Amino acid sequence: MSVVLITGSSTGIGNLTAKTLARAGHTVFASMRGIDARNADVTAQFHELAEKEGLDLHVVELDVTSQASADAAVKAVVDRAGRLDVVVQNAGHLYVGYVEAFTDEDLAHLIDINAIGAHRVNRAALPYLREQRSGTLLYVGSTIIVTTPPFLGPYVASKAAFDALAVVTSYEAAQFGIETSIVMPGAITQGTSHFPNASRASDAEVSAAYAFLDPLVARNEEATASLMQPDVDQDPQVVADEITRVLGLPRGRKPFRSVVDFTAAGVDHVMAFSDLTREAFVTRMGFGETLQLQD
């Protein structure tokens, strides 16, 4: 079994994944901000669950917007468990509103959380993984980089950056025996806090200029939910189960991508063709070895 660090474990997919992996026998470090403050209740729930079910489940402080915090969290995992095998990059936040109304500071902040945050955690973890020449970087991406719905502009941009960083990092990581897998959930409006906790644009004056579109924005969550067939149970536990399945596969057998989409938007087909095109291009450049997991 693996020693796993998960970012963004306070709610939703990250929270469920921490519990599911621990129940599968892995040593899990669920990370989040404010484990003794804003998320003290979540910390207590994890500790209670670990004691009740005899799980190797721990909580560690990690703010992905701080390199020092990422470094400290990874060091804490290695100090306690003796190694680190898997990083599940799950931390993220949602913005809803009109693209023009988001200031450059708004956009930079979201990209800092959703994309650069993962890079910080990689910079903290990769030295350990490179030294042991093994490990897995699993990214919880999003089908939104293909479906690109309206009124979520900064979020779409940040998840596209997140996905691109995962891909380009994979070339180099593979040379040290480190696997990459990107699990791409589709839209989920139940069992997560994305929409309820979403942030709005800072520029109220520009937002007011788009006021005639407010009714469309107001029904964004409802419109997203309408994509699901009535008999589809959009339980985020399915994503946690898929992450657990992927991490349970033998070394070298993990899929580069896996799509879990309750809306059946066809993103799996798009990404399969996109990755084949990318791999062919990289091979034509003479860098085919970067696509192969090295021993």
**With b meaning 16 or more CB within 10 Å and e meaning fewer, what string describes 16-32?**
bbbbbbbebebbbbbbb
Q: Domain limits at 185?
A: 3-291
Contact 195, 94 (CB under 8 A): yes
pLDDT digits (tens, 9 = 90+) for 36-70: 999 999 999 999 999 999 999 999 999 999 999 99
Collapse the DSSP code of 232 into the 3-class scheme (helix H, G, I; strand E, B; otherwise coil) and give the result: coil
pLDDT digits (tens, 9 = 90+) for 47-56: 999 999 999 9
Q: Phi first, then psi: give them for residue 193, nearest 5 degrees.
A: -110, 15
* pLDDT given for residue 72 in this prediction: 98
* pLDDT given for residue 188 in this prediction: 84
Share of the chain above pLDDT 70, in %: 98
Residue 292 has pLDDT above 80, yes or no: yes
pLDDT digits (tens, 9 = 90+) for 214-260: 999 999 878 888 888 777 777 999 999 999 999 999 999 999 999 99
Residue 189 has pLDDT above 80, yes or no: no
Give the C-alpha distances (Å, rounded to integers) separating 284 from 22, 115, 149, 217, 288: 42, 28, 34, 44, 8
Structure tokens at 249: 């596969």
Q: Phi first, then psi: give them for residue 262, nearest 5 degrees.
A: -70, -15
Q: Phi first, then psi: give them for residue 281, nearest 5 degrees.
A: -65, -45
How many domains in the chain?
A: 1
- Of the two residues 182 and 198, the one the predictor is more confident about is 182
Instruction: Provide the 8-state DSSP code for 202.
Output: S
What's the sign of the alpha-carbon dihedral 34, 114, 260, 234? positive
* pLDDT given for residue 233 in this prediction: 78
Q: What is the CATH classification number for the domain harbouring 264?
A: 3.40.50.720
Tell me the mean pLDDT in the region 286-292: 98
* pLDDT given for residue 224 in this prediction: 84
Tell me the mean pLDDT in the region 198-227: 92
